[in-house]
Amino acid sequence: MMIDQDTSLYGVMGNPIGHSLSPTMHNAAFSAMGVNAVYLAFKTEDTNGCLRGMRALGIKGMSVTIPFKSAVIPYLDEVDPLAKKIGAVNTIVNDNGWLVGYNTDALGALKALEEKICLQERSCIIIGAGGAARAIGFMLREKGVAISVANRSMERGKELAHTLECPYIPLDKTEDTNADLLIQTTPVGMHPHSNRSAVPEQILEPGTVVMDIIYNPLETKLLKMAKARGCVTISGLNMFIYQGAEQFKLWTGVTPPVSAMTRAVQQALSGNNERN
Ligand code: NAP
């Protein structure tokens, strides 16, 4: 790849950021499409500083990950209606200094779920109430799925449940649920703490569909337990690819090379499943 005076810069802001395969995925996409651009990971604690840096340096696009998806909103010039409704932004487009926030997690999750299962007449327990949970919750609600939200902190859990007009379940009371779809959206089980699960094994009934949106490692402890108990499992990989494909489209206007993106991420995960 040739880096020169015309190379555009993109990146991801988050903390921690070492788990992210967004640089691998987007650099593979730029390369496959011959786009003169690079994508870097920025570990930051300064939300506003990061966005000011985007404007000052002309960074063309930014992915936003934990814990900034809601925190970036007040610093943006414009927020897309879906992201506003969700209350979380995972993508920023820099249009000549005018920063616009979008949310592609909802679409990514929807595509990953619908390619495996039919959502009609489902009931779902969402574990977690952060940015990703909000996006998934709004999307499932639009699809008519009967949702409940389980979260560690009661305040955040109840707030999301109230917004989604659904029940809140304390995280240590999830055995009372009988949902046929469980979506795990906390970082528990993510590399390097891959021996953990936020979900107790005993609630995993045979036939339940269990999706863990963590993609590093590809098979989390939760998914291993779910598989062993006869559940249908869905990893976070395809949601990650599809949300990234939507970002690529927003930034470049070009149809994303989904297979090149998938190949690059799979290669990185198989070469170093527990990567830094
Ligand atoms: P976030 O906004 O920071 O929310 C984190 C959520 O996890 C909160 O509900 C928090 O509960 C809960 N949590 C954190 N640590 C916990 C613990 N030790 N025990 C129990 N609950 C805990 O994060 P996010 O943006 O939603 O992202 C969450 C995860 O999803 C990350 O691992 C991220 O990489 C992954 N993700 C994957 C994709 C994909 O495409 N596959 C997309 C987006 C996100 P409290 O309210 O109690 O703090």
Which one-letter DSSP state was computed for residue 174? G
Q: Is 153 in the pocket of ligand 1 (CB under 6 A)?
A: yes
Give the total number of structural domains in the chain: 2
Same domain for 98 and 15: yes
- Kindly report the pTM of this predicted structure: 0.94
Residues 6+ positions from 220 with CB-CB distance below 8 Å? 184, 189, 190, 194, 197, 212, 214, 235
- CATH number of 125's domain: 3.40.50.720
Range in 47-51, 82-86, 259-263, 269-273 with the lowest mean pLDDT: 269-273
Q: Is 156 in the pocket of ligand 1 (CB under 6 A)?
A: yes
Residue at 213 is within a domain: yes
Residue at 1 is within a domain: no
Same domain for 54 and 33: yes
Cα of 129 from ligand 1 centre, angstroms: 7
pLDDT in tens, 123-136: 999 999 998 999 99
Q: Is 72 in the pocket of ligand 1 (CB under 6 A)?
A: no
**Whether the predicted pLDDT of 275 surpasses 60:** no
- CATH number of 245's domain: 3.40.50.10860
Same domain for 231 and 247: no
Same domain for 194 and 215: yes
Rounded mean pLDDT of 179-195? 94
Protein residue with least CA distance to atom 39, ligand 1: 240
pLDDT in tens, 104-117: 999 999 999 999 99
**Whether the predicted pLDDT of 272 surpasses 60:** no
Cα of 186 from ligand 1 centre, angstroms: 3
Percent of the chain with pLDDT over 70: 98
Same domain for 112 and 189: yes
Rounded mean pLDDT of 198-219? 95
Q: Which contacts of 172-177 are long-range, i.e. CB under 8 A and separated by 24 or more positions?
A: 174/125, 174/127, 174/150, 174/199, 174/200, 174/203, 175/200, 175/202, 175/203, 177/125, 177/148, 177/150, 177/203
The strand pairing partners of 102, in sequence order, are 91
What is the domain extent for residue 166? Answer: 106-235
